Structure 1
């Protein structure tokens, strides 16, 4: 098979990671993997693993992007992929117009992946105009069915995103060297019961809920300390300042630590006693929650979106009805008083995700 994946850029994020994972699986199984994007820091890794990267500026939500239709058509005609797999709305629109100019007999099969709960409009509808539409969770299947009823239900295929259990092994412990460095940088974390809220600093991630929680916990449980693992990009700096002021006003400076953007997320998840998932909106999947459960750290989170799907299968005792602050507090208290370890996770593997995606490609090819 020859498969061409299209996405805006290759810097960081779930869409990018999923693209690399499928590219790697294709190469490992003897297929040809092509990726079209505007480039980014993950390109060297992609190419080192045997894929071909073709740079094209298909990332701007602007009319000027229409100039890329002809170059994209040329690339598709030159490489003649069997499958074109679009993972984002701008590339999906450009591909739509590029394929129109290729005779039907020479057109590749078209697959899309709906990675997010996009705003519902004609612009987003393009993600449902493919022969097969991959949804990354049951919540996304439901979103497509409710908002895009013209998308045939039999063409929607739920393929959960997955993680490599070898990268997040059950019972994983950070090295002594790493721990020494952390306790050197953040002495306030030593011998504490750590509640971790991972994720970028945005209004969506539930940081205000964490501050309220710590206000309620600090008197009864002085050994509890909260960790915020995630950085703020330049546009979110004002919100980070706002959060830090709120921490100060609540008298929590000694109880909440912001460690910024970290590339060693596995270590932080393993160091934590409980990981929280408190996003104000449903997440399509909830990869970080799965990574925490995989290393054996309990996750407590709101019962919605992909996180609820993961928790209901792996750690149902961590599910809390959305915005039920009383149950959330009670559940955390229970975990403080009776610490638990999560059983090894056997679902949601990267291998399953790759196998199911490649099987879907093969299924389309057999239609010819």
Structure 2
């Protein structure tokens, strides 16, 4: 089969799960001898994308304006000139523009159209575009079930089960190796930066400072364990949401009001989360709304670190596969705290090896979809 020419579309290349997945597929395409092209308005990840062998086309299809839809003419000319085999849309507005361009082309001259549903968007005609692909990739069973429930074939006749493929996100075991230990230099620097850790047991809550991530439940759990005589410290690992600075102020004020300033540490955004997972005695996932996947649960579990989490959405899938002991009902902070205690007392089973949620498997299965469509 001749090498494929694949275009992925998304709003920007700055940070986030969609962006990471785009680069991962681009890298795999290049490694397999295919042509990889990504279209976005740009961002800090463009340099990495190009360094890894892909081409970038700068076009802003993420600006929420009626004028953005008119870009379909530009895209149609691009599709015709470049003769892509596959166009893969990963976000709603770029998907709409791409679909408008694609549907107006002769069937025998247009690329094949793929979409990935990365999250559980609001149910609407606007969101339904993510189900318009000739193949629709869902990043978890949770997302597939969400699609089936809200876009049933009775109302969306084209969206048969055969069009939907679940391809879970995956991680590279070399990036998050099991039983990884940080260097002595890193340990010295981190403890110097955060002397509150001392010799205490470390509980970690990763994720941006947004209300959905369950920081108040985390504070409640840490406070209760301290009241019970456990020598623990809580790490809140994540940057503030610039759009909602009031929430970060709210949780910081609560920590101070409850006298937990030395027991709950705000690290801000970190690029060394692997090392932080490695020194954590337990990682928590306390989101109030279901995650479409749950990467911050998978990463520490892949390293063999126990995770306690509210069992809904993609987090429930990952815990069921790798560490069922860590699953508690959504919102049950008391049960979560009790599981943490058992983990700290070495009463929990070992985390199972990750053999399902693997990066190379995700890459291979995605490219297999491209090949099947192109042939």
Shared fold by TM > 0.5?
A: yes
How far residue 356 of structure 1 moved from its aligned partner, in angstroms, is 0.5
Matches of residues 313-352 of structure 1 in structure 2 within 5 Å?
313-338=321-346, 341-352=350-361
- 2:190 equivalent among 178, 182, 185: 182
SS at 1:218 equivalent: helix
| CA displacement 1:136-182 (0-9 Å, x = unmatched) | 00000000000011221111100001000000000111111111111
For residue 268 of structure 1, what is the aligned residue in structure 2? 276
Matched, 1:310 2:318: yes
Report how many residues are paired: 366
Matches of residues 238-253 of structure 1 in structure 2 within 5 Å?
238-253=246-261
SS at 2:57 equivalent: strand
How far residue 223 of structure 1 moved from its aligned partner, in angstroms, is 1.3
- 2:365 equivalent among 344, 356, 359: 356
Q: Is the 8 A contact 2:209 2:248 kept in 1?
A: yes
Matches of residues 113-262 of structure 1 in structure 2 within 5 Å?
113-149=116-152, 150=156, 151-262=159-270
Cα distance in 2 for partners of 1:202, 1:269 equals 20
How far residue 339 of structure 1 moved from its aligned partner, in angstroms, is 6.4
For residue 38 of structure 2, what is the aligned residue in structure 1? 35
- 2:74 equivalent among 66, 71, 76: 71
TM-score by length of 1: 0.97
Cα distance in 2 for partners of 1:222, 1:328 equals 15
Of 21-30 and 148-157, more deviation after overlay is shown by: 148-157
SS at 1:121 equivalent: coil
For residue 87 of structure 2, what is the aligned residue in structure 1? 84
Cα distance in 2 for partners of 1:217, 1:4 equals 51
SS at 2:7 equivalent: strand
Cα distance in 1 for partners of 2:175, 2:103 equals 42
Of 299-308 and 67-76, more deviation after overlay is shown by: 67-76
Structure 2, unaligned runs of 5 or more:
none
SS at 2:126 equivalent: helix
| CA displacement 1:300-332 (0-9 Å, x = unmatched) | 101111111011011111111112233212111
Of 192-201 and 69-78, more deviation after overlay is shown by: 69-78
For residue 57 of structure 1, what is the aligned residue in structure 2? 60
RMSD: 1.1
How far residue 67 of structure 1 moved from its aligned partner, in angstroms, is 3.2
- 2:287 equivalent among 279, 282, 295: 279
SS at 1:326 equivalent: helix
Q: Is the 8 A contact 2:221 2:334 kept in 1?
A: no
- 1:112 equivalent among 92, 110, 115: 115
| CA displacement 1:91-127 (0-9 Å, x = unmatched) | 0000011113322210111000000000000000000
